[in-house]
Structure 1
Amino acid sequence: MVALVLLVLLLCNSYCPVTSLNEEGYALLSFKQSIYEDPEGSLSNWNSSQDNPCSWNGITCKDLRVVSLSIPKKKLYGFLPAALGSLPDLRHINLRNNRFFGSLPAALFSQARGLQSLVLYGNSFSGSLPDEIGKLTYLQSLDLSQNLFNGSIPSSIVQCKRLRTLDLSQNNFTASLPSGFGSGLVSLEKLDLSFNKFNGSIPSDVGNLSSLQGTVDLSHNFFTGPIPASLGSLPEKVYIDLTYNNLSGPIPQNGALMNRGPTAFIGNPGLCGPPLKTPCSSDAVNAGAPSSIPYLPGNDSPQDKGSSGGHNGKGGGLGKSAVIAIVVSDVVGICLVGLVFSYCYSRVCPCRRDKDGNRYGFEKRGKRRKDCLCFRKDESETLSENVEQYDLVALDAQVAFDLDELLKASAFVLGKSGIGIVYKVVLEDGLTYAVRRLGEGGSQRFKEFQAEVEAIGKLRHPNIVTLRAYYWSVDEKLLIYDYIPNGSLSTALHGKPGMVSFSPLPWHVRLMIIQGIAKGLVYLHEFSPKKYVHGDLKPNNVLLGQNMEPQISDFGLGRLANIAGGSPTLQSNRIPIEKSQDKQSKTAPGSDVATVSSTATIGGTYYHAPEALKVVKPSQKWDVYSYGVILLEMVTGRSPLVHVGPSEVDLVSWIQLCIEEEKPLVDVLDPYLEPDLDKEEEIIAVLKIAIACVHASPERRPTMRHVSDALNRLVAS
């Protein structure tokens, strides 16, 4: 009997098939092989010892067929292989908030046609969307936000008629929206295209998206032309965000576009009409009118009136005498307006004073009101004694005060420099702002100033100081920023003369600060509308918030000062910076620093990349170099100009000398960081990043995105 059992076992071992992983399992193992880093071991149980992958982490099956791949927020670093397209029953992919890179494989769209949701936001995917996306006729949710995708949206996307969520925000998509966008995607409930580079006109058929809910976000793009009246056909509960585009013409007053505040339309200088304060001229109204109205005989055609080849017949244009009369009357009228303007401008009213002698308020003279708007004189400077009555231009919905309130507020001088005076301004309701006065002069360049300041006003990031509003007149050019309470990074690192107590920054705070600066620069370089270069980054331009979070300030300030007619110590962030021009101290807006430390004053030029004096066009690698010097300063605690015996060398040369001489870390480290020597590995890692950033060759320096990713990995480890 025992022999019979052994015989049966031998036969089974010889002829019974051995269980092995199915085809879907091997397709998923291809995905695992495309992952270079899996720090949390999310794929640790993915192996070929089982007959199917249904028990693997992140895998969901139905009837032993893979229907879902969901591994979010696991720090996976790799690319997406085409093999995923060979999963015929795959319905859902969720890989959000990882570190995937590369393009999307076309095979994923052409083969996995049953896909219903593709959620990839918060990665580093790049390239364009494959045309095959139109084959996903069952797709309901497509979220590719916060990546690096570029190119245009394939026209085939309009075939995804079941699509309910489309979020492409915070990418680099360009071109216009595809034809039939509104009439094809009729099931859309959520639409977010913000923070891209879409251009062209907004399709008129977007009004057909009757299922939309919440906010339709088209903000921070380059859409041009008029707002199509059909947008008013969207459900009235839908909020339409059109801010910061290049739209023009009158705002249609119908349906969902009615009763909206100005915050839905700001950042479009060409828009006019309610709810904006800018009235529409007759030309703007005509431009916004339908162009298909036929010309009727007997009516004056606008085209005929403006034609250079006007009619000379009896019913034609104006005669010579009429033209001369019009020209003469225009000249006389302009002269009269000029005389009246000169008379009004020459009359200056004194601001009234309170019992303590502080200037305040405005006063009236008889029937003719003459405004005289001033800060209370809490310090030796007033913001303005003679301000022409122009409107304060808000760049943000949070600005709830007007020019009168601003100029009547208590103002304290924070600092002075060649770039202007900076005030801390406390409004009557307790809100605090930082106001920079750019000086008097340059009255002919308002349009240029307006374009530049409104472009800067579009920047919104937790690590960038927000420009909230501006004011322009012949006598005053004001920039209104958020007030940042904890001063500059320069003061936090080195203190300042007269400081009663100084608390050195511990390592974990320094690490948080350098992370935040990196994130702010990544936003400027990659996600801002024009992929800006700061051009003058240094510790004095990094302010520290309530919880010591860093905020980069003074972006574009040199350019604005040049336009405003001041005498800035900075150059434009598009112009090379001469070392001799940076010897005057400069106070960043929002900083409680009356005078910057001698470190920042003397060493300001040492943050500039060596090629900045040779190359006309600035590069983002300039900012990388400046950031590297800041890292060296954070680690060593030394100023950018180091004393070595009787001589002085810049900080970059000094650190290279220390490396050549193989000095121990304790000789390089800021003495205040000695209690943090248990973090030696982190400190050395940051030092290596700094050295890479200050490489003499710009091409050898990393991008800020790579720097930020490296710091994130360091903190997470």
Structure 2
Amino acid sequence: MASKKWLLLAFFLFTTVLSDTTDITNLIAFKNSLGNPKPLSDWNPDVEPCNLDKENWTGIICGKNGSVLGLQLENMGLTGTINMDILSEIPSIRTLSFANNGFGGSMPDVRKIGLLRSIYLSNNNFSGVIGNDLFAGMSSMRKIEVQSNKFSGRIPESLTGMSILVDLQMQDNEFEGEIPNFEQKRLKVNFANNRLNGPIPRGLMNQNATSFAGNNLCGEPLTNLCKISKHKHTLKTFIVAIVAIIIVLTIIVLSLLIIRSKTKPKNNYKYQQTTKLNNNPYKFNTNEIQMHHHEEDEEKNPKRSENGGKLQFVRGDRERFDLQDLLRASAEVLGGGSFGSSYKASLLGGPAVVVKRFREMNNVKKEGFYDHMRRLGNLSHPNLLPLVAFYYKKDEKLLITDFAENGSLASHLHGKRKPNESGLDWPTRLNIIKGVAQGLDYLYEELPNLSLPHGHLKSSNVLLNKTFNPLLADYGLTPVVNKHHGQEFMVAYKSPEFTHHDRTTTKTDVWCLGILILEMLTGKFPANYLKQGKGGSSDLETWVNSVVREEWTGEVFDKEMKGMKNCEGEMLKLLKIGMCCCEWSIDKRWDLKVAVEKISELKERGSDEEYSSYTSDGDAYSSRAMTDDDFSFSANLKPT
């Protein structure tokens, strides 16, 4: 066995050295292909180009592992043509910059480096037509700068298919014809001073008007309107007629559906949540993660970086990795929520982690964001999902956490089960709610300055590890989440106090805990969580209140909850705790400490004598069970 390990290690070292030697050979060959290579006189084949992330050769961009990530050969008076065949033999290259030189010839064939993320060719002597499909399939490309050359012909259509392209500079050339329709939402373009004509496409109407100056263009954002020909007017009339027909047909179909729906039962909570959980609209694409791996040249050249950074670890007890490790890891989509998508990344030779994308986190500046993330990283409790690391960018953030093997509580309560698979039993549910309460209590102690220590407590944010121990997720994020987005989607803003008085208090998270308790006991999903904006009255608590006010019946509990023998009394206690946490009146609502204390006292089974009034068929609770001295319960769930 030892000899096999030695052979593997020797093979790894041999292939690494061979790769480095090959890179050196190719770089020297590229240097020799240039018309004026004197500025690269320190490219010495006897010296490694990179010493880890430090460059030994001029113009080389190095990665942390010593690989060559790119070339930054700017303002060097270099001439000749760019030999992409040689550069394509260096597999680690991701960015190329030859700006402000004397290169000529046609546009380099960038497709030969399929994973290229940025190309900078501005202020050279390139000319000719750029092939219409030159950029087809280049899904990793983010930045293209070809301004101040002599390119001609039409703007390539293949540019419109680059989903993560954010910067396209093509001004001061000789491009002609109409501009194709770009639909990338974050894209910034500049087509000024060319020979373009026609209307500006709808997808670019949000750009600055100066980006289209010096052409024969019309329409927004320019002040000159486009003239509509008679042919276009006739076409418009035809389109209006078609739309009118479609609207009439739609009304007829909707009317039939409404009539049909009246025969179906209302308030089908489980159907709503199961549909939400079992029809995942996300399809995994590695580019979804790659778009966050910002070019190393942005670190070398801060002028090009909007606000990029490195992966920031907030825990000292985790093995370190970087964004390249995440890119190399096998990944799968876990789902999408109100903040963004989540991915499971299985690191090579390491643990699985979860990468969650956040786009609505600009409530604080960079320094404030860093401070808050470090504060969350210092939290440590058996019932909190640990924050491992984070990545900061102005318009987008990544949070990396541990992976919970058994998924979310919501998936177990409302998701589709395999044949013969039972739901969560009572002992498991009791253990989960005890852990949730303890984790929430810890957040209250460690984040005393936040009125919402959690802010987004719901069943999909309660994760379960391999032993079904609960882990609270997405906690403590209200200070960094954009205010409007938070009020649209976060659970705390569905509370009665925010719905009616536009405020939250230190008891708002207690209300969320109460709703979670009712959800666990009944198996019904709080349908008002699916609504954007203020929550209004909760369908779940209203339903529970209507049932218990008429008669304390066993039908309130989830029929799929097993292990209920001799435990009805304890279940009733937990139901009463949940309802006391759901009080609409903040003054009457329990404090968290009281709720945690009562929950901790619960047992899996109670005594037969104490709850002998519970009928043998489980259909009704007696009034004596309602007046237990341990609870001062008013059941005032909704203002009269």
Q: Give the structure-1-normalised TM-score.
A: 0.40
Q: Give the structure-2-normalised TM-score.
A: 0.45
